Amino acid sequence: MTFEEMKAHLIKRILQQQLVTATISQPRMKSNEVKRIKLKPLMLKNSYHIQIEYQYERILKHENIQLTEFPAKLETIFEDYRQAHVDFIDEKVQVQLSKKNKVLWKSDQSSIPKQVNLAHNRKKNYLLSDDQPYSFLIRLGVQTEDGKVKKQKYDKFKQINRFIEFIDDALSYLPKNRQVRILDFGSGKSYLTFALYHYLKIEKGLDIRVTGLDLKKEVIEECSRIAQDLGYDQLEFLVGDINDYNEESAVDMVVTLHACDVATDMALARAVKWGASVILSVPCCQHELNRQLNTPSLDIMLQHGLIRERFAALATDSIRAEILSLVGYEAQLLEFIDMENTPKNILIRAYRTGKKANVEQRANYDAFLNLLHATPFLQTELKEYL
């Protein structure tokens, strides 16, 4: 059986709604963060779908795809994986692919048809359970006293859990033999700061010291009271600006949430200079590049204010991630929360590797900046590292 014949057989059976379950594994690239993919059929709004479960090292993500759109998705999946175990109603299939897509195929026929469960399990497995009381969530008004998430706060609860997923993914990059130093610039009402402290200190038992920094005195005073009441003795909140904070010479993790315009770049630059192992940054508004854009070849797009603003925001975050890559970080742009909740949903995640950028990577970066006729603030801040 050829590679194309193998895919055609699987797709045909799936389109016939014969799938019971499937597991696809063995990523072709070690860098692939999704270690395993599971497939199962389900009914959504009276329509047959295939649910795709992406299994990372510590978290799961789900995507539901209509049956007619699934063949193209399966084609893409087999570009990245080499093994599949597929259960159909009357057949069990095992597939092993070589690096050059030579197919090792095994099929076992069954005389007793299997049952297909098309029910949709809507309960999501959160790292923080949605039916367990947490003192900080109760105090912050996200949960009731008995641990139920308040209806009007459920989006906030999902955002907190999404943030905790990123924190959990970063655990292996944090020191194990000493206190972990964490700074949160622009902490605001500090939902995520408290969540970070709870997860790392209470649930994971790490020795940490966390500082939340914000310009709003009243907010800082309230957060300080809550931390004291909860007994979070290694969590402090200070009034201050990113530029004025000079209390540290080295930091392990830097978090910056919704710091406007170049305030995000200031925080990223400070993180790099401190040698932070982990950077988590959710930018807010980006105006600097918008003002600099001078690219006649893109005028068809940029003549429209809305498109210009969105392009500038996406380009700014792409540049930030690339600069972090150039100075020794593994940087990614990830979805923080669903686009339906806010368009400002990009998170920059960077892990310090110390890997040096190659000549081609720097040339590609310079070419992009030349196209835009721009000089990013972060580039200027980190010029001695580039």
Kindly state whether residue 60 falls inside one of the protein's structural domains: yes
- Summarize the confidence of residues 143-156 as an average pLDDT: 92
Residue 215 and residue 295 share a domain: yes
User: Which of 127-131, 274-278, 352-356 shows the lowest per-residue confidence on average (mean pLDDT)?
Assistant: 127-131
Q: Of 109, 144, 160, which marks where a domain is finished?
A: 109
> Residue range 18-45: average pLDDT?
91
State which of 60, 91, 109 marks the end of a domain: 109
Domain boundary among 94, 109, 124: 109
Q: According to the model, what pLDDT value does residue 342 have? A: 43
Pair 277, 314 in one domain: yes
> For residue 251, what is the domain's CATH number?
3.40.50.150
Rounded percentage of the chain residues whose pLDDT exceeds 70: 96
Q: What is the mean pLDDT of residues 147-152?
A: 92
Q: Is residue 118 part of a domain?
A: no
Q: Which amino acid is at 128?
A: L
Whether residues 149 and 100 share a domain: the answer is no
Are 60 and 207 members of one domain? Answer: no
**Buried/exposed code over 346-365 (b: 16+ C-beta within 10 A; e: otherwise):** bbbbbbbeeeebeeeeeeeb
Q: Is residue 271 part of a domain?
A: yes
C-alpha 95/C-alpha 303 separation (Å) is 52
Q: What angle do CA 343, 379, 173 make, to 5 degrees?
A: 70
Same domain, 84 and 196: no
- What's the total number of domains in the chain? 2
**pLDDT digits over 221-273, tens only?**
999 999 999 999 999 999 988 777 888 889 999 999 877 778 899 999 999 99
Q: Kindly state whether residue 247 falls inside one of the protein's structural domains.
A: yes
- Determine which of 42-46, 328-332, 338-342, 374-378 has the lowest per-residue pLDDT on average: 338-342
Report if residue 202 sits inside a domain.
yes
Q: Domain limits at 67?
A: 3-109
Domain co-membership, 225 together with 183: yes
* Whether the predicted pLDDT of 339 surpasses 70: no
Shared domain for 105 and 247, answered yes or no, is no
Together in a domain, 85 and 164:
no
Nearest to 150 by CA among 158, 141, 159: 141
Shared domain check, 237 and 186: yes
Q: What is the CA radius of gyration of the chain?
A: 24
Same domain, 105 and 149: no
Would you say residue 70 has pLDDT above 70? yes
Domain match, 201 and 348 both: yes
C-alpha 120/C-alpha 386 separation (Å) is 50
Same-domain check for residues 103 and 139: no
